[in-house]
Amino acid sequence: KAGVTQTPRYLIKTRGQQVTLSCSPISGHRSVSWYQQTPGQGLQFLFEYFSETQRNKGNFPGRFSGRQFSNSRSEMNVSTLELGDSALYLCASSSRLNTEAFFGQGTRLTVV
Amino acid sequence: AQSVTQLGSHVSVSEGALVLLRCNYSSSVPPYLFWYVQYPNQGLQLLLKYTSAATLVKGINGFEAEFKKSETSFHLTKPSAHMSDAAEYFCAVITTQDTDKLIFGTGTRLQVFP
């Protein structure tokens, strides 16, 4: 069974640009969550989708958005990039709420 | 709101020594607790989980953790450290009050010396 796949693995963007990250969950998993990991703030929850509905959102500005498609694949978008958005963005999928999350390898975003 | 606290951002042990990584949780309702490991430039891998069944939970790579409600703790242990255990370890909690997100601790970096 294939794991969680995140693309791309690495990304370099310029301040002010926007970026879209993609996550394909494990087959059959309907819940997808996104996390931002930085050395200073650690792992912070961005948002969670279940059956195409955003069920929870972390404390991030509106520049961070996401969506989930009918096949459970998810994308997150960050607009008007800032230097502080440089981070490892991790996606996790689970079969249902309250079960363990399986993580992808992450997308390393560098904003210059 | 629930939270987890990991005591010690860095832990160093010798190869073959006991590994003890500490995690305390705060939750007003029964929690589900997890330990994850992260190797450099990788995502997080689940080591073990507590979901209100047995209080002593065995995970992968020889790790185990014991849920102690009286101490609100879920410490991770391994009897004998291997060089390959060097990584960052995260404790996380999820509860029925907030079912949609894992709350992570700040992580503990484990170094293993030969």
Q: What does the pLDDT read at residue B34? A: 93
Q: Which of B10, B52, B102 to mutate to test the interface with A (most CBs of A within 10 A)?
A: B102
Q: CB B100 to CB A90 under 8 A?
A: no
**Whether B100 and A92 lie within 8 Å, measured CB to CB:** no
Q: For residue range B22-49, what is the model confidence (pLDDT) as tens digits?
A: 999 987 777 889 999 999 888 999 999 9
Cβ-based contacts of A101 with chain B (< 8 Å): 46, 102
For chain B, what percent of residues have pLDDT higher than 70?
A: 95
Cβ distance B49 to A100 less than 8 Å, yes or no, reads yes
Assess contact for B48 and B60: CB atoms under 8 A. yes
Query: Would the CB atoms of A45 and B107 count as touching at under 8 Å?
Result: no
What does each of the 112 residues of chain A score in pLDDT, given as a tens digit? 679 999 999 999 999 999 999 999 999 999 999 999 998 888 999 999 999 999 888 999 999 999 999 999 999 999 999 999 999 999 999 887 667 889 999 999 999 9
Determine the average pLDDT of the residues in B50-67: 91
The length of chain B in residues reads 114
Whether omega for the bond prior to residue A8 falls within 30 degrees of 0, making it cis, is yes
CA A38/CA A84 separation, integer angstroms: 9
Rounded Cα gap, residues A84 and A111, in angstroms: 8
Q: Testing the interface with B: which of A7, A53, A103 to mutate, by most B Cβ within 10 A?
A: A103
